[in-house]
Amino acid sequence: MTTNTTPDTETPPDDNPGLLQGNAVIEAGGSDEDGEFSASEFDPDDSSSLRSSSTSINSSILEHSYQNGRRYHRYRHGRYPLPNDEAEQNREDMLHAMMLEATDGRLFYAPVGDNPQRIADLGTGTGIWAIEIGEKYPSAEVLGLDLSPIQPTWVPPNVKFYVDDIEDEWLNGDDFDFVHLRNMIPILKSPVTLLKQAYANMKPGAWVELQDVDGQVHTDDNSIPDDWPLKRFTEIILQAFALYETNAHAAVFGGQYLAEAGFVNIKHNYIKLPYGTWPKDKVMRLVGMYYRTACEEFFPAIGNLHFPQLGWGKDEMEVFFAECRQSMRDPKVHAYGKMHFWSGQKPLDA
């Protein structure tokens, strides 16, 4: 087997990359009529079959902290920059539904084979990915780890959740076939350190996959104005993350992090996520509606906690967030975000 440590950015990991794959240009021409999609397109109480089945969560840390009217994790308070309340959980599950639309139902791209037996979901959040992967591979043991005990009470028998800090030192000895992280790399102080720990707890030949938005705005037709509010928002978030020694744009460096941690056969894929309903294609408009809604809820969720550290007042923030929301409804601006999928393999001879 070839052990190439250079990220492969030319071809997707397989021949079913999803609807908004890579360099494909999104054709404009959609409307901004919210009524096009019914409310039933996404129901946070029915986002998967995850609310049923048969094993209780293994967790003993049930307390939270509160700030600015939002609820946050109490265990290792401050490590994660977003709330963990019901509004944020619904937003996270909506993003999961969006990803399934954008990738044509894919949960991952890494070539893990047909029978992985031990799977870890680091930063599992609501647990929706872990539960669906447990249903996909019923013979596998799936472990989900997060700082917040917000996962469902009843889950499939092969899925277990634990409250833990994945950036702490791991006790070596696990033998995972597949390790998954989504929306995690930009908030880690040292992605390479975490990936090295994952490497040490994986079987030879096992795979890891990073799925992250790059925190930037893109366009294929130069339609983003220099003073576009959402562009300014991404620049401010980059500054805010830097205060925590993290990088809001870290997703673009996923291949570098994997190589530094020792992984080989590194693969790269990305999809485009429209900011709004400007695309002509109906599925892309649905993805854009999801993404716009998620962004609208993201502005105060992250901003109310971090913008004041950069000198912003409450009224100033509210006006700016309103401008950001309005900016995504301009059909003349054909902007999108990029979701990166990086995967790497532990060498067979490791």
Listed in sequence order, the residues at least 6 apart from 70 whose beta carbon sits closer than 8 Å to its beta carbon are 83, 85, 87, 88, 301, 304, 305
Which among 86, 98, 92, 155 is positioned nearest to 123, based on CA atoms? 92
Q: Are 74 and 284 in contact (CB under 8 A)?
A: no
Q: What is the pLDDT of residues 13-34, one digit of tens each?
A: 344 444 455 667 777 777 665 5
Distance CA 204, CA 103 (A): 28
Residue 19 lies in a domain: no
Tell me which of 61 and 39 has the higher pLDDT.
61
Question: First-to-last CA distance in the chain?
Answer: 13
Residue 9 lies in a domain: no
258-287: b (≥16 Cβ within 10 Å) or e: bbebbbbbbbbbbbbbbbbbbbebeebbbb
Residue 226 lies in a domain: yes
Res. 4: pLDDT tops 90: no
pLDDT for the residue 64 = 55
Coil, strand or helix at 208: strand
pLDDT for the residue 293 = 93
Q: What is the pLDDT of residues 283-293, one digit of tens each?
A: 999 999 999 99
- Across 116-120, 211-215, 296-300, least confident range: 296-300
| Number of C-beta neighbours around residue 34 at 10 A | 12
Residue 4 lies in a domain: no
φ, ψ of residue 213 to 5 degrees: the values are: -80, 145
Coil, strand or helix at 16: coil
Q: What is the pLDDT of residues 41-77, one digit of tens each?
A: 444 444 333 323 323 334 434 555 656 666 665 545 4
DSSP 328-343: TT-TT--EEEEEEEEE
**Helix/strand/coil percent split, the chain, to 5:** 35, 20, 45
Q: Are 199 and 263 in contact (CB under 8 A)?
A: yes
Res. 257: pLDDT tops 90: yes
Place of tokens 């509606």: 289
Angle at 339 between CA 39 and CA 231, to 5 degrees: 85
Count: domains in the chain: 1
List the CATH number of the domain containing 265.
3.40.50.150
Res. 100: pLDDT tops 50: yes
Which among 207, 186, 187 is positioned nearest to 198, based on CA atoms? 207
Res. 133: pLDDT tops 80: yes
Query: What Å distances lie between residue 35 and 39, 269, 347, CA to CA?
Result: 9, 32, 51
Identity of the amino acid at 61: I
Listed in sequence order, the residues at least 6 apart from 120 whose beta carbon sits closer than 8 Å to its beta carbon are 142, 143, 144, 145, 174, 176, 178, 179, 180, 198, 201
Cα torsion 143, 144, 147, 153: sign? negative
* Section 250-271 average pLDDT: 97
* Section 151-161 average pLDDT: 85
Residue 180 lies in a domain: yes
Give me the domain span that covers residue 304: 34-345
Residue 2 lies in a domain: no
Residue 22 lies in a domain: no
Coil, strand or helix at 149: coil
Backbone dihedral region of 161: left (phi > 0), alpha (psi from -120 to 50 degrees) or beta? Answer: beta
Q: What percent of the chain has pLDDT over 70?
A: 76
Residue 29 lies in a domain: no
